[in-house]
Amino acid sequence: MRETFVIAKREFLERVRTKWFVAMTILGPVLMVALILIPALLAGRGGTGAKVDIIDQTGKVAPLLSVNLQKLGDWKITVVDPATTDEAELAKVRHKQLNGFIRVPADGLAKGSTIYRGDNATNQVVQGLLHEAVPIAIIAARGVPLDKLDTPSVRAFHTTGETAGESGAGTFLLGYIIAFILYMVITLYGINVMRSVVTEKASRVVELMVAATKPRSMMSGKILGVGGVGLAQVAVWFLFGGIALAYRTAILKALGAGADAASALPSLDALQVVTIVAFFILGYLFYSTLYAAIGATVSSEQDSQQAQMPVTMFLVIGMVSMTAITGDPRGSTSAIMTLVPFWSPMLMPLRYILGGASPAEVALSLGILVVSILVIARAAAKIYRVGILMYGKRPGFAELVRWLRY
Partner 1 sequence: MSTALSVHAVVKKFGNHVAVDGISFEVPRGVVYGILGPNGAGKSTTLRMINDIIAPDAGEISILDGLKPGSDAARQIGYLPEERGLYPKMRVIDMITFMGELRGLSSGEAKKRAGQWLDRLGLSQWAKNKVADLSKGMQQKVQFATALIHEPALVILDEPWSGLDPINAEVLAEVVEEIRSSGRTVLFSTHGMEQAEKVCDGVCIIARGKKVLDGKLKDIKRASAADGLVALGWVDDAAKAKAEPVLADRALVAEQRPPRPGDVADAEVKLADGVDSQQLLAALLGAGVGVRRFEVVTPTLHQIFVERVGAAAAVAERRDA
Residues that bind partner 1 (CB under 8 A): 3, 6-7, 10, 13-14, 199-200, 203-214, 389
The region, left, alpha or beta by phi > 0 then psi within -120 to 50, assigned to residue 253 is alpha
CB of 7 to partner 1, least distance (A): 7
In the complex with partner 1, the residue whose CB is nearer, 14 or 361, is: 14
Closest CA to 283 of 366, 345, 231: 345
CB of 208 to partner 1, least distance (A): 6
CB of 13 to partner 1, least distance (A): 8
In the complex with partner 1, the residue whose CB is nearer, 148 or 204, is: 204
CB of 188 to partner 1, least distance (A): 18
Burial environment of residue 47 by CB neighbours within 10 A (0 to 12, 13 to 18, 19 or more):
buried
In the complex with partner 1, the residue whose CB is nearer, 91 or 212, is: 212
Q: How far apart are CA 160 and CA 355, in angstroms?
A: 6
Q: How far apart are CA 281 and CA 355, in angstroms?
A: 21
CB of 2 to partner 1, least distance (A): 8
In the complex with partner 1, the residue whose CB is nearer, 64 or 206, is: 206
Closest CA to 282 of 396, 152, 377: 377
In the complex with partner 1, the residue whose CB is nearer, 6 or 370, is: 6
CB of 192 to partner 1, least distance (A): 14
In the complex with partner 1, the residue whose CB is nearer, 253 or 393, is: 393
Other CB atoms within a 10 A radius of the CB of residue 106 amount to 12
